[in-house]
Amino acid sequence: MKSMKLAAVAFVLAASMTPALAGKGGGYGLIRDAIASHSQDAIIAELERSESLMCPDCVPLVTSLLSDDRYAVREAAGWWFSRRPGYMKQLTTQMLGDLQTGDARHIRNAADFLGATVNHDAIPAMQAAFTRGDADAKVAIVRAMKTLTNPAGSAVLVSAMSDGDASVRAAAASAWREIKNQANAAPVVPLLADRDAKVRAQAATVVGALHETSAHTQLEQLVTSDADSVVRRNAAWALGKLGLASSRAALAAAASDSSGLVRGYAKAALASLH
């Protein structure tokens, strides 16, 4: 039913467009052939090339890409419509409806479209849809918050940091760093003790980048004892960004780590201590 609605929107959009005019490049046949090739690079290249192309027959083609299984393709299709405000507005109405009543797949697609088209007004709707999504849908909502960089999205990210899926927690930590005027990384600090190494590694990077000095004890523990070398490396980098003299002993120990990357980052961090 939802796909039928999206197809109907595509038909209306196509009918409302003027006859094909020359743009910067591209064309219906080229976009159609790129889609038929299933090549992500080819699809994205043709959408970029047809940025200014007015082509009514292209609208259903590009609309179909908004539900592609590949994020990069969905993002490119959203970008293509962002260059066509009138048509983007009609699709936005459909996407907001999908956030309210659609399944997880439709929530994912809607979040990616609203992020790609930089729709700040859609943040409350995405926040409301968050708990109804699966991991992919939740990551898409977090990704939209990262793209928008709007402080209004912070509440979504805090919720995502306690999600049961590690990919959602890692994405939320990464997005937190990108929010405008972010003052601290306090909500990210608990993720330094996460059971998933990728989450711990991402959290270490964020608390270091945002100079969250309250995390120095946890970082010192990670740099000397975490089982994952990437986590230890990121902790060493973060301690270097904090630059606290109290971290000298931990970094000195890490300078003899079994991993060359950890040793290198630890030595660099030692040199930056106050």
Instruction: Grade residue 145 by pLDDT with cuts at 50, 70 and 90.
Output: very high
Q: From CA 255, how far away is CA 142, in angstroms rounded?
A: 36
Catalogue the long-range contacts made by 208-213 (C-beta closer than 8 Å, 24 or more residues apart): 208/234, 208/237, 208/238, 208/239, 208/240, 208/241, 208/242, 209/177, 209/185, 209/238, 209/241, 210/177, 210/182, 210/184, 210/185, 211/241, 211/242, 212/184, 212/185, 212/186, 212/188, 212/242, 213/242, 213/244
pLDDT of residue 54: 86
Q: Which of 19-33, 49-63, 192-206 has the lowest mean pLDDT?
A: 19-33
Instruction: Grade residue 26 by pLDDT with cuts at 50, 70 and 90.
Output: confident
Helix (H, G, I), strand (E, B) or coil at 21: strand
Please, where in the chain does CATH 1.25.10.10 lie? 183-274
Contact criterion met (CB below 8 Å) for 74 and 65: yes
Q: From CA 58, how far away is CA 10, in angstroms rounded?
A: 9
Question: Would you tell me the crossing angle of helices 229-242 and 260-271 to the nearest 10 degrees?
Answer: 10
Contact criterion met (CB below 8 Å) for 248 and 274: no
Give the Å distances, CA to CA, from 269 to 63, 155, 175. 49, 33, 25
Please give the structure tokens belonging to residue 88: 């983007």
Instruction: Grade residue 9 by pLDDT with cuts at 50, 70 and 90.
Output: low
pLDDT for 20 beyond 50: no
Segment 120-140, tens digit of pLDDT = 999 999 999 999 999 999 999
Nearest to 42 by CA among 30, 51, 53, 52: 30
Instruction: Give the percent of the chain with pLDDT over 70.
Output: 91
Residues forming beta bridges with residue 54, ordered by sequence position: 21
Residues forming beta bridges with residue 21, ordered by sequence position: 54
Instruction: Grade residue 5 by pLDDT with cuts at 50, 70 and 90.
Output: low
Q: From CA 161, how far away is CA 168, in angstroms rounded?
A: 7
Residue 56 per-residue DSSP state: T
Element (H, E) at 109: helix 104-116
pLDDT for 143 beyond 70: yes
Higher pLDDT: 172 or 8? It is 172
Mean of the pLDDT values across residues 258-266? 98
pLDDT of residue 17: 43
Instruction: Grade residue 24 by pLDDT with cuts at 50, 70 and 90.
Output: low
Topology, domain 183-274: Leucine-rich Repeat Variant (1.25.10)
Residue 66 per-residue DSSP state: T
Which residue type sits at 250?
A
Q: From CA 233, how far away is CA 214, in angstroms rounded?
A: 19
Which residue type sits at 136?
D
Segment 87-118, tens digit of pLDDT = 999 999 999 999 999 999 999 999 999 999 99
Residue 54 per-residue DSSP state: B
Which H, E and C letters describe 119-186, residue by residue? CHHHHHHHHHHHHHCCHHHHHHHHHHHHHHCCHHHHHHHHHHCCCCCHHHHHHHHHHHCCCCCCCCCH
